[in-house]
Amino acid sequence: MRVVIAEDLALLRDGLARLLRAHDFEVVAEVGDPAELARALVEQQPVDVVIMDVRMPPTFTNEGLVAAIEARARQPGLPVLVLSQYVEQLYARELMQDGTEGVGYLLKDRVSDVLTFVDAVRRVAAGGTVLDPQVVQALLSQHDRRGTAGPLGRLSAREREVMGLMAEGRSNAAIAASMFITGKAVDKHINSIFMKLDLPLDADDNRRVLAVLRYLQDSTSAGHPGRR
């Protein structure tokens, strides 16, 4: 799998590259700013996934985010996994406003759980969606605070918990393990969630993240400011 890494801090760029190579990824380019990234995306095709930092030169604010959105505009469907030392719901919304396929947004800390991280990279590359647990948590608790209007309000506490884990990209087995319930019970919760959210039953894991993203995008179009 061909990966491009865009990260301005050499320490983290090298670390990421080594980590991915150790897990049989082919790192085809390691770049430090948006211009180099644009060049690498032209020269190194085909690129299976781009892993990039939110903060990049020249202003070190959200050039990475802008670059990710631009790269996806130039090459629709280009899988992009955005990493950051802090996560903002607002950034997640901006990143996903043009579609959620092949998009990931994770706190850099998650890289340390190497196997989960590597799995997340693979899922994004395959067109899946990965959202950081912190964003998901903020989303759900914000929803809890704002009341029970909307489709998410119909979920029970248990179902919201399951959905939070789903949105993080966990498998059924992982959800079952972390909630100390059986796989069968997880299935039951998930079916109930899909029914309540009017989502078609589907075996695709990605479908499940869409449950959260549907809400995310609804809020975006309704113009709610991202609040945590």
Partner 1 sequence: MSAYAEPARPGHPGRPYPRWRALLRFEVALSVLTGGGLTLGWALTGAHGDFWPAWVWFALAVPVWFQGSVMWGLRPPRRYRFLALHTSVSFATAVMLLAIWMLDGLHSSWPVWPILGLAVPLALHYWLARGRSSAREQQLAQRVDVLTRTRRGALDTQAAELQRIERDLHDGAQARLVSVAMSLGLAESLLASKPAELPGLLTEARSTALAALDDLRTLMRGIQPPVLADRGLEGAIRALALDVAVPVLMSGNLPGRPPVPVESAVYFTVAECLANVVKHSGATSAWIDLRYGAGLLSVTVGDNGRGGARPGAGTGLTGVERRLESFDGILALTSPAGGPTVVTMEVPCELSSPKT
Binding site for partner 1 (CB under 8 A): 9, 11-12, 15-16, 18-19, 22-23, 55, 60, 85, 108-109, 111-115, 117-118
CB 11, min distance to partner 1, A: 5
Q: Where are the beta strands (DSSP E) in 11-86?
A: 26-31, 49-53, 80-84
- Closest by CA position to 51, among listed 116, 137, 136, 117: 117
CA distances to 116, 190, 210, 222 from 205, rounded to whole Å, are 15, 11, 9, 27
Give whichever of 24 and 198 is closer to partner 1, judged by the CB atom.
24
Peptide bond into 58 cis (omega under 30): yes
CB 32, min distance to partner 1, A: 13
Give whichever of 85 and 182 is closer to partner 1, judged by the CB atom.
85
Give whichever of 20 and 103 is closer to partner 1, judged by the CB atom.
20
CB 23, min distance to partner 1, A: 7
- Closest by CA position to 37, among listed 8, 76, 1: 8
Q: Is 71 within 8 Å of 41 (Cβ atoms)?
A: yes
Q: Which amino acid makes up residue 145?
A: R
Give whichever of 23 and 214 is closer to partner 1, judged by the CB atom.
23
Residues with Cβ within 8 Å of 159's Cβ and at least 6 positions away in sequence, in order, are: 189, 192, 193, 196
CB 56, min distance to partner 1, A: 12
Rounded distance, CA 26 to CA 47, Å? 10
Give whichever of 26 and 113 is closer to partner 1, judged by the CB atom.
113
CB 114, min distance to partner 1, A: 4
CB 61, min distance to partner 1, A: 11
Give whichever of 119 and 205 is closer to partner 1, judged by the CB atom.
119
- Closest by CA position to 119, among listed 20, 12, 210: 20
Rounded distance, CA 49 to CA 4, Å? 7
